Each structure stands twice: as C-alpha cells, then as structure tokens.
Structure 1
Amino acid sequence: MYLLIATMVLITVLLLAAWAWWRQSLPVLEGSIVSGQLSEPALIHRDQQGVVMIQSSDRNSSAFALGFLHAQERFFQMDLLRRSSAGELSELVGPAALKKDKKVRRHQFRKRAERNIEAMPETQRQLLDHYVRGVNFGLLQLGSKPWEYFLLGQDPRPWSAADSLLTTFSMYLTLQSEEGKFERRDTALADLLPQDLYTFYFPAGGIWDAPLIGEEEPISTVPETPISSLLGKNDPIAYQTMESDDKVYGSNNWVVGGALTEHGGAILANDMHLGLNVPNIWFRAGWNIPGTNRTIRGVTLPGGPIVVAGSNGAIAWGFTNTGADWGDLIPLELNSDTTQYLTPDGWRDITLEEEIIKVKSAPDEALIVKKTIWGPVIGKNHRGTPLAYRWVAHDIPAGNMNLLQMESITTTREALNLGPAIGIPHQNLLVGDQKGNIGWTIAGPIPKRFGFDGSRSVSWAEGKTYWDGYLTTEEQPRIYNPANHRLWSANARTVDGNWLKIMGDHGYALGARQQQIRDNLLARQQFDEQSLLDIQLDDRAIFLQRWQQHLTEFLRGREGYSETYQLVQNWGGRASPDSVGYRIVRNYRLKFMELCTAPILTFMRKSQPNFSFGQLKRQFEYPIWTLTQEEPQHLLNPDFESWTALKLAALDQVLEKMSAGGLPLIQQTWGEHNTASIRHPLARAISAIDWFTAMPEDQLAGDTHMPRFQSPTHGASERMVVSPGREEYGIFHMATGQSSHPLSPFFGKGHSDWVEGNPSPLKEGESRYQLKLQ
C-alpha cells in the first residue's frame, strides 16, 4: 500500500515538474521589458484570441516587436522554414532529412539570400535588422528554449537577415518546382507519345476554363492511334492510385468594385490553400503606420516583418498561386568527357562547388553542386541528357522586401505598379481600394523569353534562345476596373493570347473551382462581406454533377447495386460530411481516370521507371469524360474486355476500399474520408506529440473542385473578407491558432470558427494582454 502511494506521489511530482518546466517556454504576455535596442517604445496588445496589434511612433520599433512576437510564439516554425530552403534540416533532425537537403542545397539559397540582402535599399535593411534583433531578443526572453528543441536534444540557432529571405525561398519550394517537374514530364510525353494521343490526353484546357480574359480552349477529337500500340504483348499494366487532380498548393481570391457595394468601396476575399499544420503557417498581426492615421492588419509569415495579405485601411490585397511557368530546363551539350558544355561563346567548364551538409548524430555530408551560366544542373531528361535549370528564384529580383511598400500605397493603381518589383513566388495579385477601384496583375518578376515560349526544354547553346531580363511595369499584364466590376482567380488560367505566352503554363488547375467562383460572382449585383464568405464556403459539387448523372444511369436497374444506386441518386449535390453518395461519385471518377490512363503510365515507365503524371493530370477531365461517353474501343485499357467491365471495376474498387474501413456502406460518408489530420511536424516522428498538439479530428465539408477547398491535410490556411477602411466589418478564419505552445491561452483559439464557417472578426478585439517593449 505504501509503495503504491509513494509511486503515485512520485508520478504526481514528476508531472507537476514537467508542467512547470513546460510553462517556462511560454511567451511573455504582460508587463514591461527594457530591450536597450529601441529608439521609441512599442506597445503590444493581444486580444482574447491572441490577435496582435502593435503601437509605436517608429516603424523600426514595430518591426522589432513583431520579431519579438514571432520568436516567442513561433520560433521552431521559423527554424523549419529557413532550414527547409537552405538545405539544413539534417543538422536539426538527422539523416531522415538528408535526401531533401541534397535536392534543395543545389540551389544554394543561403548564398543567394546573403547576396540579396546586400542589394536591398538601406531603409529596408535597417527595418530588417530591427526585426532580426527583435527575434533574437524574443528568443532570449523565454524562460527556456522552445519545447521542440528539448525533444530533439538541440539548441536554437540565432536568427539572421538572410534567414528572413530564406523563409521567402521556402515558399518558392512550396509553390513552384525546384526541378521544373511539369516541363520535364510534359516534354517527355510530347516527345515519346504519338502526337494524336498526346494532344487528346494532355489538352491545355477546355469548357471548365474561366479566365479573366479569353475563351475556353477547344476540345481535341478522339485520336486514331490505338492505346494498345503503346504496350508490348506481355507488358503488365502499371497502376498508380489517382489522388485528386486538383490537390494543389493554391488559393482562391476575388474582388468586387465599388459599383457593387452599398458603401462604394471595394471588397476583397482571399483564402490561401496550403498544407495545414500545428501551428498555422500564418501569424495574425497589425500595427499603426507612422505618419498616417491608418493601421495595417492581416497575416504575417513568421520569419519576416511584412503583412503578406491584408488591408492597410486604404487598399486590401490578396494572393493566389499562378500556375504559370517561371523556370526553364536547358539540355546541355557536353564534350566527350562531360566536363564542359557548349554556350553561345563556346565551350565552358562546368563549375563544381562543394556544399557541406551537417547531419545530427552522423558525419557531415559533402555535396558537389554542378553549375552553369544558366543555373545548377538538377538532373537528366528522359533521354539521359543533363539539364540545367534557369529559374526566376535564383535571381536578385526574386527575393526582396518590396512587399513592405504596400503599407504606404493608397490606391489600386499604385499597387498594380508595384507588382513586378515584389520579390515573392509569382502570385495573382488582386487589389481593391477604398474608392471602389479594383485590379489584377502578377506579383513577381516575369522573364523576357526570346526565341522560344518556355513550354519545352530546348538548347540555349547557339544563343538563339535566352532570357533578356524582366518585364517592366508597363509590360506586365494587368487589368484595371473591368466593365463587370469583378475579378477572380483560383490557380487556373487567367488570360490568353500574348499574355498567356508571356506567362506560360506550368500546370494550371482545371478551372472548375475558378468557374464556380466566377459564376457565383456573376449571379449577384450587390455584395457585402457575408455574401463573399458564403462563396468561400460554397461546397456545392457542380463539377461532379454530370458524373453523378452518368453513374446514376449506369447503375439504374443493375443487379447487386441497388444500395449504391440509392446512395448515388440521393447524394445531396455537395461535399457534405454526411453524404455517402458524394464520396462514391468523387472516388469513382478518380478510379476511372486511373484505369483509363494506366496504359500511358506503363508506356512512360519504360523510359522513366519512376514516371508519374503529377500536375499533368490536372486536365485529364476532358479526355476521360469523352471516354466515358463515347467508349472508343481502341482506347480501352487492354486489361478489360469492355468499357462496362472497366466502369464496374472502377466502382467495385471504390466500394471495396470503402468497406475496408469496417463500417457498413451507409456509414461510409464523405466526412469519414475527409477527416482533419492537422498535426505538429514532429508528430510524424513522435506520434505521442499528437496527444497534446493535434487539432480535433473534425469531419470537414468541402473538397478540391469547389470554392471550399478541403482535404484532411490541406485547405484554406486562412479566409479573409475585407473592405479597406471598413475593417470592423471584416471576416477572418484561421486553422489552429496564434500560438504554437499547447499551454498558451491562444492555442487552438479560433479553430472552431474555421471548421464551422462562423463569421469571426478580422479586426482585433478588446485588448486582453499588454506588453511594453522599451
């Protein structure tokens, strides 16, 4: 008995000690701290949700305060961002990250960040220096290092100015390909497939397109070449599970002009789709803009002193990833011993540079980076030819802090003029101002291509194909105050003609999501904030309606499928968590797509054993719908005797996978499939972390081909609706919460509004905690 009591007391003491230790790494919320580094004090207000408002008469002081906050609340997240783009994760977590580090280190982003810092204007460097000092001061003010470092047996490394640019480069790696994968795959397909098969299966677009300028692409006719011609007599057909063809790192945004609002100001909506983790990628903050009576509010990326998307009281802006082409693969013409490559100026040596990758609990790894005048050598094409990568991300204009200028801009036209100078991964920039003006342009530098359009990998050795700098402000595509007073984008094609040639194609989304947004906007003549939130939360399965009708007709009267028929017939027409029919229709389409295109996958893997369609599958809807309607016998997968057999196999495989969950079919709802899995990054290695960090396993409405983009691990990292100057009416949702610390009063606060779609406020609430940095 005494032993049991003693054991319980010991366990209690240990738990209390652990709790006390854990609390030491909590952020400082109240009081006054003398920093010794500020010319003017900064007062930090937090509301009950942890939303931050900084007040200071000096902009450098508010930058210092934001750095302090980012370090206190999110330092481990910042560390992962800088290390992921610098190729330095192995130093923190060990050999498990070595393969990723080697791929990334070829781009030498740390050296590029240091170079870009030197090119910055002095005022930006001063502000960044204050932010960096704030980060390091905030880290030191914690009672103990962030809890993640105890689990890893590591100490946090101080922050530097280059680290802040590395967080920008981490977004390049998220939103663009560091290897030009789309061009690589597309070039191989166009080179190896018979032309009519390539044209049919890989169209540029079609009826789902909803560009701001231009028309839908024409649909290709059924090819004559039989699909069996790609296969040998005894070739086993390869199958690869088809995830959603619109599972993209992207976003939605739209803006309506003053002619469509009661108050005459523009209203902007923006929801940026990214991977969902604990904590959220964004940190909500705002500060007064010295010398004005305005305040800037929105989301910041921990690691930098900038509001990425938000409102400054005069304009509001938001972003979506473009899906356009911002890099080119260059096949190298090598000499006999492969040490030199041909250039317009003759033969040049391939430059070799050694990069040392530090690895936790293991010896350092040496990586030899092969470099050309165009960029690093990143691999080989389908014919074994080495490829150099000319990528915008490598150049000075690609990484800077010019987005800071959004603070002082007061009109849409000024914001559009800034677009080409913003050094971030290329985005559709939508802007609206207080007077009702709206506009679209590309944020990010656009290369001037000569002698080619960038759609194929071509040699640059003769000097007939090259980049010649970047477009000027006057040359950059833009739309200002369109006649219908509406602008929209959602990762699909936005333009055609010469602008499309300038931007290129690196795997545009299908367009169904963008089209649904456009049609929602065209259906109304007046808007307020709630009506734009309603569009953000639209989970109607308009794109899948014809597939539901097709499957209903296919199953009507078919023996053995009466229950499935009833579920599909009564599917509800939306991606609702309680719908079984939606899940069947959605997954049937993907399985049908997989079975139809498997012969092409098999053919390509003869040349490239690891070939996968990747972004090339985003336009598969057009050929597979034609196949399901016309059933051309010569395009039938040889593994099946008829199209009916293939369709039944697709459906049966879907139903079999659903039944594998152990629940009867009637309970295999979309919510069972689409259950949130929002976890801390370390939980992948230490599952026990889920116990105190993971968000609830909510069943989520929404899916990929609709405005309410949602999967278990990806979705709207934020939802924002705001009219500049009317921020008190603005709406904001964010998954997880402000703090990464599970004991913080802000951990998980606001997450339920994101799940349920409740219209929670953009503007910070009453000040609950006040901290003064002196």
Structure 2
Amino acid sequence: MGQFVQWLLRIAGGMVVIVVLIVAGVYFLASRSLPQYDKTLSTVGVVAPVEIVRDNANVPHIFGENDQDAFFALGYAHAQDRLWQMMMLRRTAQGRLSEIFGNRTLSIDSLIRRFDFTTLARHSVAAQDARTQAALKAYANGVNTRIDEINQNSLGRGAPELFLFPSAISPWQPADSLAIQKLMALQLSGHLEEEVLRARTSLLLPDEKRLADILPDAPGSGVAALPEYAELVPGNARFAATTPLPDHPLSPFKHRALTGASNAWAAAPNRSASGGTLLANDPHLGLTAPGIWYLARMELANGGVIGATIPGIPAILTGRSNSLGWGLTSGYVDDQDLFIEELNPANPEEYRTPDGFKRFVTRKSIVNIADEAPVTLTLRWTDNGPVLPGAHYSLNTITPEGHVAALGWTALSPRDTSLTAAIALMYAQTVPDAIVAAEDYISPAQNLTLADSNTIALKVVGAVPRRNAAHQSKGRMPSLGWLPENRWQGRMPYMSNPSFVSPKGGIVGNTNNKTVERPFPAHVSFHWGDSQRIQRWTRLMQGRQVHTRDSFIEAQLDTVSFSARALLPLVGADLWFTGETAADGTPERLRQRALTLLADWNGEMNEHMPEPLIYAAWLRALQDRLIQDELGPLSEEYTHVEPLFIERVYRDVDGASVWCDVIQSAPKETCTMMAQLALDDALVWISERYGDQLESLRWGDAHQATHDHTVLGDAPVLRYFVNIRQSTSGGDNTLQRGKTSGTGPDPFQNVHAAGYRGVYDFSDPDSSVFIISTGQSGHFLSRYYDDMAQLWRRGEYVPMSLDPELARAAAVGVTRLLPKE
C-alpha cells in the first residue's frame, strides 16, 4: 500500500512539473511578443531620425523631421501594440475570416464579399490627394517594418493569438486602411435594417397610426444649436455652478440598436468661464478587449495633434491640435436604400432597368475555409448596387418571387475620399478650414463638432443621396429599382448639409438626435438615434450660464435617465400607493415594495442602486406584453425599449392605447392592467436571477461592461485573462450611455458605450483630458492591456498635453527609428 501511495505521489509530482513546464513555455512564447519600447531601430522606411516617446499612459508621442516619417512611426506603433487587432480588422474587411476560423464565420465572409470592400478600397487609393497617398504609403511601410522585425528577431509572431492561429501575415497595403474605414462605415450604418424592419412590420400593421407607434418619428424641429441664454431666462436670474445577422464576436453586422451613438458638444467663449472655447466628445462603439480606440500624438509640420485613432487607419479621427478641436457623432444620414430588382423571366442573369433588361455585372469569388472545401460565390451588381442574398437581413421576408434585393450605399463608392478629409482635418487651423476640409468626406456620415480659439460649429459631413421628390417610399422602405423616380440622382451639394456656425446661444451639440426638420427630399433622415438623451443634455447645458472643463466632464458622466423620469409617472400612474398593504411573501407585497422604491427614485442609473434594474426590467416586460400579440415572432426584433412608443401608448396618442388590449383574449385589458402584469413579470425574472431582496439589488450586477476578446473571449481559462468585466452605471438613454445587449440571458449587459472620452479647453489646451475604455496594448500580458479600464469605469481621465517635455519627463520608453545607411 505504501509503495502504491509513493507511486501516486511521484505521478502527481511529475504531472505538476509537466504542467509548470507547459505554463512556463507558453508564458515564454507569449511574452516574446511583448513590445520593447526603449530601443533603437535602423530601417530603410524613414529618411530622418524619428522618436516615439511613450508617456506614462503608454500614449506614443511621435517626433520626426517630416510628416511622412511621422505617419511611418504611427504605423509602427500601431503594429507594436495592436497587430492582432489590425490583422482581424483587415481579414474581416476582406471576407477572409473563414481561412482561420472555419465554417462558423462563412456567413460573415459571404456577406462582406458582396460589398466588395477590398476592390473598392484599391480603386479609392488613387482618388486620395497626394498628401494622403504619401501618408498611406508611409503608414503601410511602418506596419511592415514592425512585421519584418518580428519575423527576423523571432518576437513571438507579434501577438499571442498568432501562435494559436498561425496563418501567414501578408504585408500591409494602403488599400487595407481604406477597407477598414469602410468596415467602420458598415458598423455605423443602420438604415438598411431599418428599412427591412419597417417593411416587415407594415405587413403586419396595415394601420399607419400603429406603424407610427412602434416605429415613431423623432418629434420636434430638431436640436443642434441651443438658443440664446437670455431668451430662456429673462431678468436677472442666478444659476448654480429576423433572420439573424451573423452571430460571432468578430461580426461587423450589428443590430440596428447598436449601429451608432455618440455625444459631442462645444461652448463658445461667451458661455465659457475661462473665456476660451470648450469641446467634449465621446464616440460610442461596441465594447471589446482591446477597445477599438488607440491614443496617439503626432508632431506634424504645422504643429502637434493628439487624440484617438483606430489601428489600421493613419489618422487622428477625434482630438485636437493647439488651435482646433474636432469631435464625431453618427450623423444618421439616410445613405442606404434597398432596391427590389425584377429578374428577367426568360433569363435570370438579367434584371429590369428603366431602359429594359440588363445583365448583372458578375464575378466569381472563392472563400477558402479551414479544414473544408472552398466555397465559390457569384457576386452580382446592378446599377443600384450589389445584390444581397435573401438569407441576410431577413431580405427573403420582403422580396417577392422572381426578384432580388440590391443595396445602394454611399460607402460603396470607388472614389471614397473620406481619409483625405480626415487627414486634412489634422492640418486645419480654424473652424472654416475644417469645414472646407471635410467636403471630401463620404462615409459614414458624421456630425462634425468643431472648436477653435473663438468659434464653435457643428457640420454634417458625408455624402447625402439626392432623391426624386416622387420617390415611392421616400427611402423609408425598399422600393422598385427599375423605376426612375426611385433611383438616386447623384449627391446633394455639400453646402446643403446642415451647418450651425457660431450660434447666437453659444452652444452646439449632438447626441445622435434629430438636428433638422426639412421636407423630403432635403430631409437628411427620417430615422434618428436618440430622442431622450438630448432632453437631459439640453437641461444640463442651459442650467448654467457659463461652463467649464469640469462641467463638460460632469455632463459626459451624467447617469440620470430622462426616459425613467418621463415614463414612470405615466406607466405607474394608477399603481402607486393603492390598496391595502399585502402580506409579506406575496407577489402583491413584492410589487408594493418595488413601487415604493421607484416612487422615491430620481431616475439616476447608478450601478449601486436597485431602482434602475427594477425600472429596466419593468419597461422591457411591458413592451414585450404590448407588442407580442400584434407582431408575433417579429416582436423579437424589437430588442430595446422605445420610449416614444411607451409614451404614445400611455398618452393614447392617435388611439395608441389599443396596444394594451390583448387581441386573442375575450376581456378588454387596460393599460393599467398591462403595467401591473408587466411589473409582476419583471419581479419574477429579477427574483429568479438576483433574489427577492429588492433593496439589496445592484444595477451594476446586471449592467456589466463586457470588454470581451473577440476570439478568445469564450475560451476556457483564457477568458479570465483576456476579458475585462466591470460593474457600470448608465443605461440606454443616459448621457453616460451604456447600451444594453437587449437579448439573451443577460439582456442588460453593457455592450456599447463610450470607448473614448475627450474634453478640451482652449483657454488652456494642455489642461485637456482624455481616456479610453481598456488600455493601449492589445497584448493581455502587458500592464497596458487594461490599465485605463478602472479609470474609465470611475469616470477619471488622463492629461492630454502637447508639451513634449511633459511626455519625456515620465516616459516609459523611447523608440528611435533611424535611417538605415
């Protein structure tokens, strides 16, 4: 027996040694790819010495003698920290994920190939101006220098993930950057899905009033510039200081509720306590680890520029120089139209046009699949755009037999000069300069918020399709592609894009809200991204006569839900403090406790409070009850609560209270009954998931920010190292927006938020601050992988200085790139 135990101990000890050796070996190989920031490298890519000074937040400050070398160094820095992310973005844009991930990403590749981003990007390289072409080439050389360095020095393939997926890394090309820019346009465009959903819903709701309930138009004339302060406050008042889209973490196809959201606002000197202009911006995208944003500073011929970049794109997309700041929010321009094309019954290779039948432009495309036979796709284009398969976007539910659907989209231009505009912004010195520079911008449409030392402005940039006034659906639903009145007639003139320069009230801003009210076809859009946050923003901006950097930060981090304040009194009007106190342990008593908590709540979506969870679960259950009988399975497409719909129902706008009556039941249900039943539903769900001690609930337990690794996030063991999960405040309709997933067992997870925040004060530019949601590095063994994550969660920032001495004083490393002799 003793000998048996000894052998067991020896075997166990041997296994422990083997495990330790394996772990040590894996760690050694993975750590080889950690970049060394303090070094000197000779390369043929630069013509003069360049320094990349990493400050204590690991933000690279790039100093060179010419601009091409600066762009080279940006490419090198991106590849040092985010090589895997760049490779995945490029593969996604090329439709080549299946080469390493197999059949599970085939649907993504298949749809991406239909858009043909790679071919369009190659054509667009020649459309850029000379300065941008030089920047693209220099940037690509910088990326390739890092790849060559990795290969020559055996630096762990540049990223741990590349050991697990050991595919060859092809050299970076200028077109790759433009293809990634188009990929971002795809993630920020939702009008295609909106058209399909409206068409499907209209088939079930022939009454236009009911369609207007569930897919409401944004009310009002639009908000961009606020009125003069004195006009609001007279006198001497004083103020206190269906077919599901591809379901994979790498999929760029996002649900319509997650296709774009951001905040940006600016104050003129007369509304600033410091006497200088102020600007704040926090663009919202899906949360990942690492985040999409990467901070950088470049010293160019006309001065320094600092802000947020996207690895793979050689431009600071939102940020500031010493004289100009710029911020971005999704413009929600209606730049997508779906066309129903009729096939020739005698020849399915032809489709109807205004001049008769015409052959599709076709091309074969081979998708290679890991461990499986390749798949050959036939790509087809019409005059209106690429033909999309019926299996995507639920197109088969609205496409008649003998027809196909084609997409018109401004991002599919082969002469897309958006990057030329983005780089020109980095050189602009004034607001007028910036507005002129942005004329070349095509897609995705953005609201460009600007501030120089004296002037503020908001300009919608991007191509706006010119439509015929007789268009069948006004671009709101799919239309017949062969009718001339439905086809696009070019682009609206840039000067007609909405513009607000130096408004009388001294403040401009956007929360993806409706900005203008114009008659079709000059309407800009019928579909907007926000009708709620703008209400809270207006109150915060007009609640002070003058603003400071800190008041702008306060607004960015505000978690009060206007929706909660507006809807709870409507929905619960007949439920509060009614009836006798119920016995403990009964559903009635639980409901009374919930209502008591909500009665004293101010609408703050604070992570430590129970009320936000009760409110969110109640409104979610209520909308589900209201729409399920009318919409059936289609109700599953309405994943997020639409506050305007709830308001229309409970105010009985145009008879909208009819939604409260369940069609299939004999009794006539009232809206009060539906509110009570929905609250009971919500409390049952909460009790099963979090327990029935309502007072101890935490919104943050349900509203966790999911910074998940797009490839390793579900891997056993590894997920604990690569994912970043945080309890967060905010919600769908707060300025500190944490958009919930809306689906699955965790419908309130925070999946879409401000991955970057920046606030700039031009009375003292070096007091400006910024933050990103994870860290600069994409390497999960790096201390810079998640070092900013807790700062971001707590609403803290790091300095945004262009002072080179400050960067050098706390540098964690300096990389010197020298010309190779």
TM-score normalized by structure 2? 0.84
| 1:620 matches 2:633 | no
Matches within 5 A, 1:500-511: 501-505=522-526, 507-511=527-531
Size of the aligned set, in residue pairs, is 735
| 1:686 matches 2:697 | no
| 1:41 matches 2:60 | no
* Matching residue of 1:254: 265
Q: Deviations over 1:704-762 (max 9, x none)?
A: 11101014222110111013473321121211100011222312122111100124322
Are the aligned partners of 1:398 and 1:425 in contact in 2 as well (CA < 8 Å)? no
Shift, 1:611, TM fit: 7.7
Q: In structure 2, what is the Cα distance between the partners aligned to 1:140 and 1:704?
A: 45
- For the residue of structure 1 that corresponds to 2:494, the secondary structure is coil
Q: 1:687 to 1:429 in 2, by over 3 A?
A: farther
Q: 1:634 to 1:20 in 2, by over 3 A?
A: closer
Are the aligned partners of 1:314 and 1:725 in contact in 2 as well (CA < 8 Å)? no
Shift, 1:663, TM fit: 2.8
Shift, 1:618, TM fit: 7.1
Q: In structure 1, what is the Cα distance between the partners aligned to 2:463 and 2:226?
A: 21
Are the aligned partners of 2:291 and 2:707 in contact in 1 as well (CA < 8 Å)? no
* Matching residue of 2:788: 750
Q: In structure 2, what is the Cα distance between the partners aligned to 1:752 and 1:662?
A: 25
* Matching residue of 1:238: none
Match of 1:447 among 421, 446, 465: 465
| 1:169 matches 2:182 | yes
* Matching residue of 1:537: 557
Q: Deviations over 1:145-172 (max 9, x none)?
A: 1111212243333221111111101111
| 1:579 matches 2:609 | yes
Q: In structure 2, what is the Cα distance between the partners aligned to 1:195 and 1:512?
A: 24
Q: In structure 1, what is the Cα distance between the partners aligned to 2:539 and 2:520?
A: 23
Q: 1:175 to 1:633 in 2, by over 3 A?
A: closer
Q: 1:700 to 1:208 in 2, by over 3 A?
A: farther
Shift, 1:629, TM fit: 13
Q: 1:623 to 1:110 in 2, by over 3 A?
A: same
Shift, 1:665, TM fit: 3.0
* Matching residue of 2:425: 406
Match of 1:150 among 163, 167, 179: 163
Q: 1:739 to 1:383 in 2, by over 3 A?
A: closer
Are the aligned partners of 1:539 and 1:707 in contact in 2 as well (CA < 8 Å)? yes
Which letter does structure 2 place at the counterpart of 1:196? Answer: K
Shift, 1:329, TM fit: 1.4
Shift, 1:673, TM fit: 1.0
* Matching residue of 2:771: 733
Matches within 5 A, 1:344-493: 344-378=354-388, 379=390, 380=395, 382-384=398-400, 385-398=403-416, 400-402=418-420, 403-434=422-453, 436-451=454-469, 452=471, 453-493=474-514
| 1:599 matches 2:612 | no
Q: Which moved more, 1:35-44 or 1:196-205?
A: 196-205
* Matching residue of 1:657: 685
Q: Deviations over 1:13-46 (max 9, x none)?
A: 3333222211110112111000122111210000
Are the aligned partners of 1:246 and 1:705 in contact in 2 as well (CA < 8 Å)? no
* Matching residue of 1:269: 280
Q: Deviations over 1:271-302 (max 9, x none)?
A: 11111111110110011111x3x210001110
Are the aligned partners of 1:508 and 1:618 in contact in 2 as well (CA < 8 Å)? no
| 1:306 matches 2:328 | no
* Matching residue of 2:97: 89
Shift, 1:89, TM fit: 1.3
Q: 1:38 to 1:153 in 2, by over 3 A?
A: closer
Q: 1:756 to 1:445 in 2, by over 3 A?
A: same
Shift, 1:339, TM fit: 3.0
| 1:187 matches 2:199 | yes
Are the aligned partners of 2:511 and 2:530 in contact in 1 as well (CA < 8 Å)? no
Which letter does structure 1 place at the counterpart of 2:755? Answer: S
| 1:770 matches 2:814 | yes
Are the aligned partners of 2:768 and 2:800 in contact in 1 as well (CA < 8 Å)? yes
Shift, 1:519, TM fit: 1.8
* Matching residue of 1:554: 575
Shift, 1:555, TM fit: 4.0
- For the residue of structure 2 that corresponds to 1:503, the secondary structure is coil
Q: In structure 2, what is the Cα distance between the partners aligned to 1:390 and 1:244?
A: 19
Which letter does structure 2 place at the counterpart of 1:137? Answer: T
- For the residue of structure 2 that corresponds to 1:637, the secondary structure is coil
Are the aligned partners of 2:630 and 2:663 in contact in 1 as well (CA < 8 Å)? no
Q: 1:465 to 1:713 in 2, by over 3 A?
A: closer
Name structure 2 gaps, 5 residues minimum: 1-8, 228-253, 583-587, 741-749
Are the aligned partners of 1:182 and 1:616 in contact in 2 as well (CA < 8 Å)? no
Are the aligned partners of 1:680 and 1:689 in contact in 2 as well (CA < 8 Å)? no
Match of 1:496 among 509, 517, 531: 517
Which letter does structure 2 place at the counterpart of 1:493? Answer: K
Shift, 1:768, TM fit: 2.4
Q: 1:112 to 1:553 in 2, by over 3 A?
A: same
Q: 1:555 to 1:157 in 2, by over 3 A?
A: farther
Are the aligned partners of 2:225 and 2:505 in contact in 1 as well (CA < 8 Å)? no
Q: 1:201 to 1:21 in 2, by over 3 A?
A: closer
* Matching residue of 1:284: 295
Q: Which moved more, 1:379-388 or 1:675-684?
A: 379-388
Q: 1:645 to 1:498 in 2, by over 3 A?
A: closer
Q: In structure 1, what is the Cα distance between the partners aligned to 2:213 and 2:135?
A: 53
| 1:568 matches 2:598 | yes
Q: 1:114 to 1:421 in 2, by over 3 A?
A: same
Name structure 1 gaps, 5 residues minimum: 215-242
TM-score normalized by structure 1? 0.89
Q: In structure 2, what is the Cα distance between the partners aligned to 1:645 and 1:272?
A: 40
* Matching residue of 1:227: none
Which letter does structure 2 place at the counterpart of 1:601? Answer: L
Shift, 1:408, TM fit: 1.6
Q: Which moved more, 1:559-568 or 1:424-433?
A: 559-568
Q: Which moved more, 1:717-726 or 1:485-494?
A: 717-726
Which letter does structure 2 place at the counterpart of 1:163? Answer: D
Q: In structure 1, what is the Cα distance between the partners aligned to 2:521 and 2:720?
A: 48
Shift, 1:3, TM fit: 5.0
Are the aligned partners of 1:67 and 1:303 in contact in 2 as well (CA < 8 Å)? yes
Q: In structure 1, what is the Cα distance between the partners aligned to 2:778 and 2:284?
A: 20
Which letter does structure 2 place at the counterpart of 1:689? Answer: L
Match of 2:137 among 105, 117, 129: 129
Are the aligned partners of 2:49 and 2:64 in contact in 1 as well (CA < 8 Å)? yes
Shift, 1:387, TM fit: 1.9
- For the residue of structure 2 that corresponds to 1:54, the secondary structure is strand
Which letter does structure 1 place at the counterpart of 2:637? Answer: S
Which letter does structure 1 place at the counterpart of 2:208? Answer: Q
Are the aligned partners of 2:329 and 2:511 in contact in 1 as well (CA < 8 Å)? yes
| 1:330 matches 2:358 | no
Shift, 1:173, TM fit: 1.5
- For the residue of structure 2 that corresponds to 1:353, the secondary structure is strand
Q: In structure 2, what is the Cα distance between the partners aligned to 1:616 and 1:257?
A: 36
- For the residue of structure 2 that corresponds to 1:159, the secondary structure is coil
Q: In structure 2, what is the Cα distance between the partners aligned to 1:298 and 1:499?
A: 37
